[in-house]
Every structure is written in C-alpha cells, then in structure tokens.
Amino acid sequence: MTKRAPDVSASPPRRRSKYTLAPLVLIAANVVLFALFFVWPAVIGLVYSFTNYTGVGAFQFVGLDNYQHLFGDSTFFDALTRTLLYTVLFVPLNFVFSLLIANVLVSKHAKGVSVARVFFFIPWLLSPIVVGVLWRWLFGENFGLVNYVIEKLGGSAVPWQSNADLSLLVVVVAASWAWTGFSMLLFIAAIKNVPVSYYEAASLDGAGPWRQFVSITLPSIAPTSFIVILLNTIHAMKEYPLFASLNSGGPGTSNNLLVQYIYQTGFKSGQIGYASAASFVLMLILMAVAIIQLVVNRRVENR
Amino acid sequence: MTTTDMPRKVDAGRGRAVRKKRPSSSASGGLRRAVPATTLLWVLAALYGMPVLWFVLSSFKPAGDLFSLPLTLLPHDPTVSGYKAAWDSANFSEYFINTTIVCVIATILTVGVSCCTGYALAKYDNKWLKVFFVGILATTMLPSEVMLAPQFLVVRDLGLYNSLAGIIIPAVLTATGCFMFRQFFLTVPDELIEAARIDGARELSIFLRIMVPISRPIMLTLAILSFQWRWNDYIWPLLMLNDPDKFTVQIGIQSLVGAQNINWSLVLGGSVISMIPLIVIFLVFQRYVMNADINAGLKD
C-alpha cells in the first residue's frame, strides 16, 4: 500500500536505509498516542475481561466467568437484540433515502440543487445530542408537533415515548435523518464517476430512467453501497448519545443499547471487568460485520 | 448564504464530464422533465428541513407560548429570552468556552500530527512505517466505544481525569486524518522532493518548507472535520469530566434534557446556540466539506 511512484522505486535500494530518522521523527507523536491510547487499552481491556476488576484496588482472575455471566444475563441480551433491531431498521432506511436524494441531486433536471443540498446536509452537522433533543421536541406525546398534526387530521395522539417499539422507531427515523448527508455525499461522488457514455448508450437503446438506474447506476456504485452499509452498520452498533438525549433508553430500560449497557455496568456499577467482557463481545460483532462485508465486497468486485 | 457558488466549486475537480452527466433532453422535453424532478427534490428538502426549522422557530417563542394551542409555526411574539436564560442560568457560557478550547487545541494538534504521519506514510519506504500503517488501520477496526473502560483507566492513570487535556490528547490520533494526508501526498510528484534533496535541503525542512504549505486545502478540510467531531463529542467528555465547571456544551444540553421536568425554553435556546458554530463554519467552508474524501470517514 505504501508503494511509491515508479521512478523512486527504480532508484538504488540503498536509498531505503538512508532515510530512517526523518520518517521516524515525523510519525513519533502518533506512535506514542497509538501506544498509549490504543495498544495499551486494548491489552489491558482484554486482560480485565478475565478479571473481577472494579477500577480500583486489587483484582482476581476469574477465567471465563464474565463471559459466562454475560450469556446468562437477560439485560445484556435485551440490549444486544435491541441494538441489532435498531441496526436492521436504520441501515436500509438510511440507504434508500440517501440513495434517492443523491440521485435527485445529480439529476440535471432538478432546479435549486445547490440550495437543497444544504437542507440535507445540515442534519449531519448537528451533534447526536441535539438531534435527540430536536426529535424529542417534535415527537412529544402531549406537546409535539407530530401528534398535534395527527390530532388535527382526526387521529388520536400516538404514544411515541411510552411505547417501547414506537420509541425505537423515532430514534431510527431521527438517525436516518441525521446521517443522510454523509451517505448522500458518498453516493453523489460514486454516481458522478459513472461514465456518461453508459447512459447515452442505454438511452439510445430506449432504456427509461428506472431501467437506467437499475441496470447502470446500481451496479456501478456497488462498491460505494457496500461502504455505506458497512459504515452505517458499524455506526448503528455503537449508537448511544442519540438514545441518551431522545428517550434515555426508555421507556424504562427497554431501549438500552449495547454501549449504554457497557457504560452502565462499567462506570455506574464499577464492574470494569464485566464491562470489558461486554466490550469484547461488541468488538467481535463489529469485526464480524467488517469481515463479512469485505468478503462479499470482494466477491462482487471479482464477478 | 454562500450556497450559490457551490456547484461550480464542487464540480471543479471532477472535470467537464460531470456537467453533461445525463443525455441531454430536447429543449421541449426540458420543462416536462424538470417539473417532477424539481418537485421531488423540494418535497424531500422540505421533509429534511422541517424539523430544524420547527425547532429553531420554536426557540424564539416565549416560554409560555411553547405549548399553547393551536401550535403555530411562526412565533407570535419573537423573543430571545430562551437564549438568554440558557446562556446565563445553566453555565452555558462556561460550557461554550470549554468546548471551544477543546475544539481549537484538538484540531490544531490533529492537523499537525496527521500531516506529519500522512507525509511519512506516503513518501518514505521503511518497514516500520508499514507496520505502523497496519496499526493505524487497526484503530478503524476497533472503535473507541468498545474500549471505553480500559481507555478510561489509562487516561485516569496518566493523571488526565477531569481535565480538558484528557479529552484533547487521546483525540489527536485519527486514522481518517492520516489517510487524508497520505492520499494527498501520494499525488505530489517525488521529483519535487528529489530536486530539493539535490539542492541540499534536509528532510525535515523539505517537509516544513515545501510539503506543509502545499497541503493547505487538506489541512482546512481535516480542521473542519476535526472541529465537528470534537464539538459534537459526547460520551468521552461525559466519562472524563466530573466537575461541572469543565463540562462541554453537549454534556450541558444532555443534563438539561435528563432533568425530571424539562425546561424546554432553556433546552431549545441552548441547543440552537450549540448548533451555531458548526453551521457558520459549514456555510463558510462548505466546498471543503463537500469535497472531502470522507470515504475513510468514519472514525473520529
């Protein structure tokens, strides 16, 4: 990956050893940070996951106890299933909307694209905390705009906060709203790289816009689609601030997700060892997601 | 707003092909096609813009009017009392200053360190660099959320708990930043470095005098992204800070909505204040954000 331009690699090999000090000086700061805040925590995290460490004092190795407990812990399983459900709902919704919007934005027929783009982009700038506050305000059960409109249209107020499933749904909508800007940017770049001649040829053959989209755009942007799905899946698996500010994982604890579970066991109850074990389960899931997507991606590209 | 000059700049790097994206329709068909596409675009834009618009307009309503029916889009009697209340009563000004300090220092350090690392990764051939490159790749695989507890312990043991430095320093290493600079420096011809070497320039002065100045656009892009990451950060500052005097804006807002009875006037005002810096930065520098190769994007 660090291959240099051909003219340089063609020069005599002894040049290589000539420059060791300069690059090492240049990366020194990051090497220190990497060791301190990545390698060290990763190692002690793995070690602590086999102990009953509470953050202070002595600790004992307890073998796989933490992991065994974890698999017998219904709170953990609830958090895990809720996280997976959230991911399964959020990722497709975000995908469809950002792809739709990217296509409309590159269309030469649409007017006012440059202004409209700002509307899609601003939500991505907002912090998850503010996004949560904003949707909490919109979906308030007694005061929110959404219920007001529903009642005006003759419906009855919907329990957006007190029904666990609806409450999760609001977070899903809020998250896809907020993340459209990011996915959309990736899609726009990908769509613009599709050679125009493909469309011209298809158009001569009488293919309509939908046919062109399905047969040309979609296959051409497949690699980007995978990246979008991968990034959004990983993002969704570690969502926390949005839940914290939108419904605090509520009603009750029904929408506590994995990161919140880790936060609460680790920092509220001081079970660092146990929380570390939960973290490693999350890590394994994230790595599995990444590996599956890499394999699928490679298979698609080789076809 | 500076939005009108956006497409020109965004398209600038992509060449002429972009402009004739789709096969052009005949003049008579233009309008027929423009109407549905434009309608769809603006319906979607309204859908996405509405929540923010409603939120911002509500923030100008007096506290007593927030819940008075019928709900109206425009405040009858616009006031900034919610803003004033937020700014004064909840130590918001303090949070705001803390967050600004964190963002500015973290951003400067992130840009500087990422620039050095990206340059080294792009222009030197050394097996240790390759090892380190794989290491940086690994940080994207293992997000900080899964290492919350051990990272917290490390930072605590380093004596950085409950200090702004504890938020700033761990944030400086970012894979995205290193990749952005690496990609940029790969496109810089090696002849430039060779010529400088022949002229007798030393390695680090080549970097500082030639490479740093030409990477200015990447610096700006990463600076904007980094500022946004730090401004919006929540969980790490929440873990690190115990002392309310050191809280950041996001923690401040979350503590307001976490309260038993939410004072919505305060929350709305505070939230809108917290959006302002990023929106201003975005509107000023949007071409850098829109052009950012955020593919590696990802992590903060």
pLDDT at B292: 57
Q: Find out whether B147 and A11 touch, Cβ atoms under 8 Å.
A: no
Per-residue pLDDT tens over the stretch B245-263? 889 999 999 988 877 788 8
Mean pLDDT across B84-103: 88
Neighbours of A286 (CB within 10 A): 19
Q: Smallest Cα–Cα separation from B40: which of A116, A55, A288?
A: A116
pLDDT at B293: 54
Q: Is the pLDDT of residue B299 over 60?
A: no
Nearest chain B residue to A135 by CA distance is B51
Q: How far is CA A222 from the centre of its chain?
A: 18
Per-residue pLDDT tens over the stretch A116-150? 988 998 999 999 999 999 999 999 888 888 988 89
Distance from CA of A259 to the nearest CA of B (A): 7
Selected residue of A114, A170, A186 to mutate for chain B interface (largest B Cβ count, 10 A): A114
Give B132-136 contacts, CB < 8 A, sequence gap 24+: B132/A27, B132/A30, B132/A31, B132/A34, B133/A1, B133/A2, B135/A34, B135/A38, B135/A39, B136/A30, B136/A34, B136/B173, B136/B175, B136/B178, B136/B179
Mean pLDDT across A22-50: 91
Q: Is the pLDDT of residue A1 over 50?
A: no
Q: Smallest Cα–Cα separation from A47: which of A289, A279, A259?
A: A279
Tokens of A270: 């001081």
pLDDT at A242: 92
Q: Which of helix, strand or coil describes residue B80?
A: coil
Q: What is the largest CA-CA distance in chain B?
A: 77
Distance from CA of B278 to the nearest CA of A (A): 7
Give A218's pLDDT tier (boundaries 50, 70, 90).
very high
pLDDT at B21: 46
Neighbours of A10 (CB within 10 A): 8
Give B24's pLDDT tier (boundaries 50, 70, 90).
very low
Q: Is the pLDDT of residue A180 over 80?
A: yes
Q: Smallest Cα–Cα separation from B56: which of A278, A109, A26, A138?
A: A138
Across the interface, whether the CB atoms of B153 and A55 are under 8 A apart is answered yes
Interior/surface letters A190-226, b for 16+ CB within 10 angstroms, e for the rest:
bbbebeeeebeebbeeebebeebeeebbeebbeebbb
Neighbours of A301 (CB within 10 A): 10
Whose tokens are 């000090």? That residue is A21
Across the interface, whether the CB atoms of A44 and B154 are under 8 A apart is answered yes
Does any CB of chain A come closer than 8 Å to the CB of residue B280? no
Does any CB of chain A come closer than 8 Å to the CB of residue B79? no
Per-residue pLDDT tens over the stretch B159-187? 999 999 999 999 999 998 999 999 999 99
Q: Is the pLDDT of residue A224 over 80?
A: yes
Which CATH superfamily hosts domain A30-302? MetI-like (1.10.3720.10)
Interior/surface letters B84-123, b for 16+ CB within 10 angstroms, e for the rest:
ebbbeebbbebbbebbbebbebbbebbbebbbbbbbbbbb
Q: How far is CA B270 from the centre of its chain?
A: 19
Q: What is the mean pLDDT of chain B?
A: 82
Mean pLDDT across A195-220: 89
Q: CA B105 to CA B148: how far, in whole Å?
A: 22
Q: Is the pLDDT of residue B102 over 80?
A: yes
Per-residue pLDDT tens over the stretch A288-300? 888 887 788 777 7
pLDDT at B36: 86
* Phi/psi at A196 (5° precision): -60, -30
Neighbours of B72 (CB within 10 A): 12
Q: Find out whether A226 and A293 touch, Cβ atoms under 8 Å.
A: yes
Neighbours of A91 (CB within 10 A): 23
Please state at what angle helix A222-237 crosses helix A74-106, rounded to 10 degrees.
140
Nearest by CB to residue A45, choosing from B147, B207, B298, is B147
Distance from CA of B90 to the nearest CA of A (A): 16
Nearest by CB to residue A125, choosing from B6, B48, B279, is B279
Q: Which of A151-155, B217-221, B231-235 has the lowest mean pLDDT?
A: A151-155
pLDDT at A98: 95
pLDDT at B223: 93
Across the interface, whether the CB atoms of B253 and A130 are under 8 A apart is answered yes
**Contact residues for A153 (Cβ-Cβ < 8 A; gap 6+):** none
Q: Which of helix, strand or coil describes residue B267?
A: helix
Please state at what angle helix A40-48 crosses helix B148-157, rounded to 10 degrees.
120
pLDDT at B148: 85
Give B29's pLDDT tier (boundaries 50, 70, 90).
low
Q: Find out whether B66 and B58 touch, Cβ atoms under 8 Å.
A: yes
Whose tokens are 């003759």? That residue is A154
Q: What is the mean pLDDT of chain A?
A: 86
Partners of residue B253 in chain A, C-beta under 8 Å: 129-130, 133, 245
Give B291's pLDDT tier (boundaries 50, 70, 90).
low
Distance from CA of A174 to the nearest CA of B (A): 10
Nearest by CB to residue B154, choosing from A37, A112, A283, is A37
Nearest by CB to residue A19, choosing from B40, B71, B203, is B203
Q: Is the pLDDT of residue A2 over 50?
A: no
* Burial bucket for residue A49 (CB in 10 Å: 0-12, 13-18, 19+): buried
Domains and CATH numbers, chain B: 96-252 (1.10.3720.10)
pLDDT at B248: 92
Selected residue of A30, A171, A240, A245 to mutate for chain B interface (largest B Cβ count, 10 A): A30
**Contact residues for B42 (Cβ-Cβ < 8 A; gap 6+):** A112, A116
Tokens of A227: 């990246």
Give B219's pLDDT tier (boundaries 50, 70, 90).
very high
Q: Give the ipTM.
A: 0.84
Per-residue pLDDT tens over the stretch B120-148? 999 988 888 999 999 988 887 777 788 88
Q: Is the pLDDT of residue B26 over 70?
A: no
Per-residue pLDDT tens over the stretch B225-239? 899 999 999 999 998
CA distances from B18 to A15, A260, B13, B22 (A): 42, 45, 10, 9
Neighbours of B74 (CB within 10 A): 8
Q: Is the pLDDT of residue A72 over 90?
A: no
pLDDT at B30: 66
pLDDT at A142: 81
Q: Smallest Cα–Cα separation from A126: which of B108, B237, B238, B282?
A: B282
Q: Find out whether A46 and A30 touch, Cβ atoms under 8 Å.
A: no
Selected residue of A1, A2, A233 to mutate for chain B interface (largest B Cβ count, 10 A): A2
pLDDT over 90 percentage in chain B: 40
pLDDT at A3: 43
Across the interface, whether the CB atoms of A100 and B44 are under 8 A apart is answered yes
Give B46's pLDDT tier (boundaries 50, 70, 90).
very high
Q: CA A141 to CA A160: how far, in whole Å?
A: 6
Nearest by CB to residue A138, choosing from B21, B54, B286, is B54
Q: CA B29 to CA B25: how far, in whole Å?
A: 6
**End-to-end alpha carbon distance in chain A:** 23
pTM of the complete model beyond 0.80: yes
Nearest chain A residue to B194 by CA distance is A8
Give A15's pLDDT tier (boundaries 50, 70, 90).
very low
CA distances from A131 to A242, B10, B281 (A): 7, 27, 18
Does any CB of chain A come closer than 8 Å to the CB of residue B220? no
